[in-house]
Amino acid sequence: MARHGFSCGIMAVALVLSLVYSSLVVPSSAELQKLEHSIKDDGSLSLLVVGDWGRKGAYNQTHVAAQMGKIGKELNIDFVVSTGDNFYENGLTGITDEAFEDSFTNIYTAESLQKQWYSVLGNHDYRGDVLAQLSPVLQGVDSRWLCLRSFDLDSALEASRAAWKVVVGHHTIRSVSIHGDTKELHASLLPVLKAHGVDLYVNGHDHCLEHISSDDSPIQYLTSGGGSKSWRGVFNPSSDKLRFFYDGQGFMSLQLTKTAADVVFYDAFGSVLHRWRVTKELHSSI
């Protein structure tokens, strides 16, 4: 059976999702672990993206979760991506921290969200016991949870023959909200993304929803950090093309086929705030 999938390299700062025609590949420091997702009848894969959420249901986290469940059902999603800051304010205290269930298991209860969650780590996660979030023990508590860490982003992108390349990290590269651009990522990460033809960089960190087009490459910068507490009234324009900005709570969906990527942003009531589509010609691969 033909399969689509995502080749993924999960780092402390980034998770690489590449639409290929085989499997989901999660590089570790030793070898590649392959996880497969069967394609839908229409040849697509669908996912939701949410970030900056772990507040035990407070700051409208439960409302966002409920709408994620509804949209997840409509799209028949394959998995969910978390852009980090999974547990506030100071990460987890350990593998037995009740915040894991109070902020994750007991919040995202919709049937459509009972899929694999791929999570990156945020700065608030690093304030606590990072190894707890990385521990397979948590997968025993909730089998949806998967948070890994390695440092082979460049090699994962180099090896990929993907039609679409999406890199997910916590910190912003481009943003018009409170944190703004991250200079360190401009210096260390952005050249790698450009060199390997990355299509989308998806992040959290700023508690808002954003879509910014690069002024010097095809890369689209997508912020999905509205999983709970948001920052109202913060807006600092930049030289890049701002396609969409919402300083409130919400989440994002991404649907991928061989030739098209569809991005949609939703608010905490499930209303569509912004749609964007890009297409590309399909090149044969070996």
Annotated binding-site residue? 221: no
Among positive and negative, which fits the CA dihedral 2, 10, 117, 73? negative
Annotated binding-site residue? 186: no
Cα–Cα dist 174/23, whole Å:
30
Whether the CB-CB separation of 49 and 79 falls below 8 Å is answered with no
* Residue 18 host element (H or E): strand 14-20
At residue 243 the predicted structure's pLDDT band, cuts being 50, 70 and 90, is: very high
Which residue is catalytic, options 179, 186, 196, 283?
A: 179
Which of 46-50, 182-186, 279-283 has maximum average pLDDT?
A: 46-50
Per mean pLDDT, which range of 22-36, 38-52, 61-75, 255-269 is the poorest? Answer: 22-36
CA 265 to chain centre: 13
| Tens digit of each residue's pLDDT (9 = 90 or more) over 170-220 | 999 999 999 999 999 999 999 999 999 999 999 999 999 999 999 899 999
The reported pLDDT for the residue numbered 16 is: 60
Percent with pLDDT over 90 in the chain:
70
Contacts of 274 (CB under 8 A, 6+ apart): 209, 211, 243, 244, 246, 263, 264, 265
Among positive and negative, which fits the CA dihedral 240, 243, 245, 249? negative
| Tens digit of each residue's pLDDT (9 = 90 or more) over 53-97 | 999 999 999 999 999 999 999 999 999 999 999 999 999 999 999
pLDDT (mean) for 277-284: 78
Annotated binding-site residue? 4: no
Question: DSSP label at 4?
Answer: B
The reported pLDDT for the residue numbered 153 is: 81
* Beta strands in 13-94, from DSSP E residues, in sequence order: 14-20, 24-27, 32-35, 45-50, 79-82
Radius of gyration over alpha carbons of the chain, in Å? 17
Respond yes or no: is residue 179 known to be catalytic: yes
The reported pLDDT for the residue numbered 37 is: 64
Cα–Cα dist 27/33, whole Å:
6
CA 149 to chain centre: 15
| Helix, coil or strand: residue 211 | strand
pTM for this model (two decimals) = 0.89
At residue 102 the predicted structure's pLDDT band, cuts being 50, 70 and 90, is: very high
Residue 270 corresponds to which tokens in the numbers above? 């499930």
Annotated binding-site residue? 207: yes
Residue 199 corresponds to which tokens in the numbers above? 């299509």
Residue 188's Cβ-side half-sphere holds a number of Cα atoms within 13 Å equal to 10
The reported pLDDT for the residue numbered 58 is: 98
Annotated binding-site residue? 170: yes
The reported pLDDT for the residue numbered 24 is: 40
pLDDT (mean) for 11-24: 43
At residue 282 the predicted structure's pLDDT band, cuts being 50, 70 and 90, is: low
| Helix, coil or strand: residue 158 | helix
| Tens digit of each residue's pLDDT (9 = 90 or more) over 135-156 | 999 999 999 999 977 668 888 8
Annotated binding-site residue? 205: yes
pLDDT (mean) for 247-263: 95
14 has pLDDT over 60: no
State the Cα angle at 8 between 6 and 10, rounded to 5°: 155
> What value does the mean pLDDT of the chain take?
86
Annotated binding-site residue? 129: no
Cα–Cα dist 73/174, whole Å:
31
Cα–Cα dist 258/276, whole Å:
16
